[in-house]
Structure formats: structure tokens, C-alpha cells
Structure 1
Amino acid sequence: MVPMSEHELYPIGDAARRSGLSVSAVRFYADAGIITPTDRNGTGHRLYDIGAIARLELVRTLRELDTDLDEIRRLLEGGTTLHDLLTTHLAIVERQEHTLRARRAVLRTLIEQGGGTAAQADLMHRLVSMTDEEREQTVDDFWNGVGEGLDVPEGFVDRLRAMRPVLPAEPTADQLKAWIELADLLRDPGFRTAVRDYLRLTYSTDIGRTVASPDFQEFVHESGSAIMKEVMALRREGEPPRSPRAQEAVVRFMEAANGLSGTPLTAQVRDRMADGFRRLVDIERMIAEEDAASEGPVYDDTQGRYLALVARINGTGEEQESDPLLYSWLADAMAAPAGG
């Protein structure tokens, strides 16, 4: 197609072809006063400049989105520039693209679920079409309900609330699917009660209060987390547990962890921490067995499920290293030197 000139006038056939409309549609919008053509020579022939053609293309897009003529007229009578019109057009196309992605996610989810009902499809579409503000409010409403009157250390529920889903501007199908599942759970009173019961049972005990305390949580998620990532990186690189590099990082981690209780890192403390990691495999197996036998809420179905879905939505899910070789490496690194 020949490039358009900003100052040239085009006959109605060209205007129709370039805007994607039929000639009769272009004539209709002219008669309705939506797009006014130019009659430069007084011949009665309708001519359109580049601005009018851009307006026609915008009108076509708006009509495809079921925008009524009065709304279109109000937009076009706002004295907008060509740049503003093109910017508006782009925003509309991007919203349309978002809607199509949302519909695709809904259809894929329904197909995987074996069909579903019209009501389920409508609910899913509304969930993925929510604005950022609506998503934020949904999360806040959930945690407000969970935390109301809950007897756990101050600030613990707010820390969980801060771990919230942030759906990107161009989410993948898996991120949309995870948001559909999470949004459905956040609106489920049964899930809210289960999370609340799990937090109450887990973090109202003496040990649970220690774990949920602000100092411990800050260490796990801030300073201690950074050091542990260094340790994990060294292990993945194949660094021997007793090498100077591994010992420097592991000792820093143990000193920081032990500092929470205000006691020095002695050889005895190091050996106790090492023994703890050696027992970790048995402890994890015991927890899994207890969860399987429990009639009450368990981590994977409550707090853990929320955090796992948030990680999928945010694209931050990391594979957890939890194998005997890892625990053995940490235990060997933490043990006090012979004769120390």
C-alpha cells in the first residue's frame, strides 16, 4: 500500500479500504456526523485526510467492541489530536488483546476440567478480567478475614499479606490459570477458615510463636535468606563443605541464626546445628506422615497452597532443594572442626 501523506486528500473508496470499512459504512458515519469529509473544490465528492481516516479506523475498532455511536461521538468531539487518537486506538487494541488472552485461559482451563458449566465459564472470565485494584482488594479482603482476632505474633499476618500475587501485563497461560485458582480460593469461605485454623494451630504454640516472631521472620526472609542463597550456590558449584569458601559462608549463616538467641556460636552449638540437618530427612518424613493422618488443616492445603500459587503467578517459583545429599553437605559444613 502506498504510504499516506499528511496533507493529501483521499476519495471515499481509498478511505474505506485504508480504514477497513465498507464504502457504505464510511458514508453512513459521514451522514451521522461522526466523521466529516472535506469537499475542497465544491464538487460534492467526499474526500478524507489522514486524520479522518485514522478516526474511521478508530470508529471501526470501537464498533467492534460494541461501543455505541453516542460514546464515539463524545470521544471524537473532544478536540483530540491525531497522536491522541492513535494512542487511544492502541490502548483499545491492547485491552482487546488482554481480553482475548483471558478468554483463551478460561477456555483452556475449562477443557482441562472436562467442560464445566456456563456459570463456571462466566466466573472464570470475570476473575481473569479483574482490574489491578479489584485483585488487590480481593487479596486484602481475604487476609483481613483470616487475621481478624487471630492470636499469633504481631505483624505475622501482615507479612503473609505482603506475599501477594502480581499478574503481569502479559501473563502466560499458566499464570492466568494459577490466578483463576487462587482467586476462586480467596473467595471461598471454607478456604479462608482452613487457613485461619492452620495459622492458629501452628503459630499459637510456644515454638510456633518463636517461628512467627518478627525477628525470626526478618532473618528467614531477609538477612538469613541472602546468606543461605550464597551457601546453596556454593553447594551447586560443587564446593567441598570444608573448603575455606564454604566455611566462611556457612559460619556467617550460623552466627546470624544463633544471634537471634543472643548466644555465641560455640563448637557445641555448631555440632547441634549439624545434627539437626542430619535429622532433617527423618523430621520431614514424620511431618508428611502426620499431615497425611491429620483431620485438621495442613500446610500444603492452606498457607502452602496460597504461597505456591502466588509464586506461579509472580513467576518466582523456585525448585526447592530437599534431598539427603544437600542435608548431608550442610551438616558436614556446619560441624565444628576436629579438636575445635
Structure 2
Amino acid sequence: MTPDGMWSIGELAEHAGVSVKTVRFYSDRGLLPEAARSGGGHRRYGPGAADRLRLIRSLRALDLPVPEVGRVLDEEDTLEDVIAGQLRELGSRLAALRWREAALQVLQDCTPPERAERLLLIGALPIPPDTTVLARFWRRWLPPRLPTPLVSAVVDQAIPQPPADPTPAQVLSLARLFAFVSGVRVAAAHCQPEAHRTDKGYRPAVLYEGLREAFALASPELRDRRPAREGEALDCFVAAYARSHGTRDTPGFRHRLAGVLAQDPRIDRYWQLVAELTGPAQPTAGAAHDWLLDALETQTGRAGSAPSISKDTWST
């Protein structure tokens, strides 16, 4: 160090235990400003340069990118904010690695004929998963002109959140779910429930508001594995259909409703795959609907009288 407290680039590098090349790199990127230049044009650094260089090295040891190190040094960002951002990014990378590992296990733990099919499924699954394709499916499936907040609420309830640390079985279920929604055609009126037909007097917005409440009431019954039965959940379920059609809940209406719902197109495969992905602790809306329909059919004496139309009659 010179008498005026200045470091040459070599002295600073030696004092900090780094190479001259490292000091020059940080200087060139504005992280370590020069205090002056010697008469021969050599860099000189002030007394605080050694402490600043140690701080730079500490931040870089956390794998912070150089621009973020600069923002911390210039107090444009707090260290806490930068660390929080890095933790989020690291969490995303780790989640992607866990999904990739489970996907590889899906391909490893099967027979050669199964491997070819699974490879196509896994190859079409974004890793880490992006549920945009599921949201697109639901926006096609739902009746048109529903209020935006209601659409968002229904879509949020219907789309499973991919686990951060999936099992191979969950990866396979999600891959099959993506394949299912990508192959389903739902544009034609005959591919959707009767209550989506606004030309027949139904008000789908009223229906879906009521169904959300009915499914919430039925969920504890499903978690406790109780058989389908009459009660508040069933009354709420029927009332939603009655209100959406501008009529009253009567025994005759319940009997007709049971018949209509038994013949409605279904997306049972979707809910089956969602259940495989989320487990029994989180009953799906599809499971709640089936439980309530069973309760209605039992009450009206229609149980087993009319099989519902399978998804296979209208999907690709």
C-alpha cells in the first residue's frame, strides 16, 4: 500500500488472496471502482477496496449473478430481497430436477413395450409442469359467458397443483392427464352437459355458484368415506340446478334431474387422474358430483336405472 493509502492492483489481489485477473474482472464490470490512476496509467484502489472485494467474493460464493451483486453493493436491492429471489429460483430448479428424476424412474420401471408408450407421454409433459393446457381445457369445457371471477374460481378448483416432490406414479398420472385433455373435443353441444345449453333456459352462472357450495359440503362426507345420502349437500346440489333453470325443487324435479344427469356426457377419466395425482385427502369436484348424483338416484329410486354416457363416446 502506498503512503497515501492506495493499493496497486497487484497489492490488492495479494492482500485479498485472489488473482490480478479477478480484480481486473470486477473492476471492468463496475463492482470495484478505481480510486485513481498512477502516472503510468496503472490502477489504484482506495483503502476500502479490500473490504469491498471481500464482500464481492462472499456474494459471488452464494452464486449471485454479477448484476445482482452490483445492485446489492449500490444499495439498489437489499441483500434480503436478493437472497429471497435466489431461494425462489433455486427452489424452481430443484423442483425441475425432482420431476426429471421421477420421470426417468417412470421410464426405467416398466417393460420395453410400456417404455415406448410412456416415452411419448413423458415427452409431451413440460418439466417442471405448466398447467396452462389444463386451464385451456376447462375454459373450453365451461359454458360461455360465465363471469370471469367465477371461471377463475372453477378453474382453480378443477386444476390440481403438481407436487414439488412427485412420485413416479404422480408423474405418470399427470402425463396421462395432459394427454387426455389434449385429445378431448368439447366444441360440439352434444359433448357437454345439458345445463350448459343456455338456449334451453339454463343459467350456468347460477348453477356453478351453487355447485361450488354443494361440492364443499360433500367433501367432508367423501373424506370420511360415508355412503351417498340425503342431507344438506344434496339439497344444495339440487337447489343449484333448480335455481339455474328458474324452477322449484320438487320431488318431480328431482326425479327428472336424476335422469338428465345420468345421461350427461362425463369427464370421469379427468377426475380419476386428478385423484391419482392428489390422493384421497383432497376429494375432487368430480368425486363430489358422483357422490351427490348417487345420493339423488337413491332418493328418487333411479339408482342403476340408466348408465351415464362414457367419456369414450365423445373423446378422441
Provide TM-score, normalisation by structure 1: 0.48
- Identical pairs, percent: 11
What residue number does 1:338 align with? none
Structure 2 residue 70 is the aligned partner of structure 1 residue 105: no
1:224 to 211, 217, 233: 211
The change in CA–CA distance for 1:326 and 1:178 in structure 2 (over 3 A counts) is same
Which one-letter code corresponds to 1:94 in the other structure? R
The change in CA–CA distance for 1:226 and 1:250 in structure 2 (over 3 A counts) is same
Which one-letter code corresponds to 2:164 in the other structure? P
Q: Quick check: 2:239–2:249 contact (8 Å CA) kept in 1? A: yes
Deviations 1:140-176 (A, max 9, x none): 7x559x95xx9x96348x95996265758x8332598
Cα deviation for residue 24 of structure 1 reads 3.6
- Please state whether the residue corresponding to 1:211 is helix, strand or coil: helix
Which one-letter code corresponds to 1:171 in the other structure? A
Q: Quick check: 1:231–1:249 contact (8 Å CA) kept in 2? A: yes
What residue number does 2:190 align with? 204
Deviations 1:88-141 (A, max 9, x none): 244234313321221121022112212889xx79x96993358xxxx476667x
Q: Quick check: 2:210–2:237 contact (8 Å CA) kept in 1? A: no
Cα distance in structure 2, aligned partners of 1:226 and 1:173: 30
Deviations 1:24-75 (A, max 9, x none): 46x6532434464999xx9x999743x5433212223448xxx6xxxx2795
- Please state whether the residue corresponding to 2:144 is helix, strand or coil: coil
What residue number does 1:56 align with? 57
Which one-letter code corresponds to 2:205 in the other structure? E
What residue number does 1:163 align with? 155
Matches within 5 A, 1:150-299: 154-155=144-145, 163=155, 165=159, 171-173=164-166, 177=171, 181=175, 185=179, 192=182, 194-196=183-185, 199-200=186-187, 203-204=189-190, 208=192, 210-213=194-197, 215=202, 217-227=204-214, 229-230=216-217, 233=220, 246=231, 250-251=234-235, 253-270=237-254, 272=255, 276=258, 299=267
Cα distance in structure 2, aligned partners of 1:326 and 1:183: 24
What residue number does 1:84 align with? 78
Cα distance in structure 1, aligned partners of 2:95 and 2:219: 38
Which one-letter code corresponds to 2:55 in the other structure? A
Cα distance in structure 2, aligned partners of 1:79 and 1:183: 47
Cα distance in structure 1, aligned partners of 2:50 and 2:249: 82
Cα distance in structure 2, aligned partners of 1:183 and 1:228: 22
The change in CA–CA distance for 1:258 and 1:184 in structure 2 (over 3 A counts) is closer
The change in CA–CA distance for 1:127 and 1:180 in structure 2 (over 3 A counts) is farther
Cα distance in structure 2, aligned partners of 1:167 and 1:95: 18
Q: Quick check: 1:38–1:46 contact (8 Å CA) kept in 2? A: no
Which one-letter code corresponds to 1:230 in the other structure? L
Gaps of 5+ in 2: 1-11, 36-43, 110-114, 302-316
Q: Quick check: 1:254–1:265 contact (8 Å CA) kept in 2? A: yes
Q: Quick check: 1:109–1:177 contact (8 Å CA) kept in 2? A: yes
Structure 2 residue 126 is the aligned partner of structure 1 residue 127: yes
What residue number does 1:94 align with? 88
Cα distance in structure 1, aligned partners of 2:88 and 2:73: 23
Which one-letter code corresponds to 1:54 in the other structure? L
- Please state whether the residue corresponding to 2:108 is helix, strand or coil: coil
Q: Quick check: 2:206–2:243 contact (8 Å CA) kept in 1? A: no
Cα distance in structure 2, aligned partners of 1:97 and 1:232: 32
Matches within 5 A, 1:18-97: 23-24=17-18, 28-34=21-27, 36=32, 48-49=50-51, 52-62=53-63, 72=66, 76=70, 80-81=74-75, 84-97=78-91
The change in CA–CA distance for 1:98 and 1:78 in structure 2 (over 3 A counts) is closer
Cα distance in structure 1, aligned partners of 2:160 and 2:229: 38
Q: Quick check: 1:166–1:313 contact (8 Å CA) kept in 2? A: yes
Q: How many residues are matched?
A: 257
- Please state whether the residue corresponding to 1:318 is helix, strand or coil: coil
Cα distance in structure 2, aligned partners of 1:101 and 1:232: 29
Cα distance in structure 2, aligned partners of 1:334 and 1:261: 19
The change in CA–CA distance for 1:224 and 1:171 in structure 2 (over 3 A counts) is same
Cα distance in structure 1, aligned partners of 2:153 and 2:215: 24
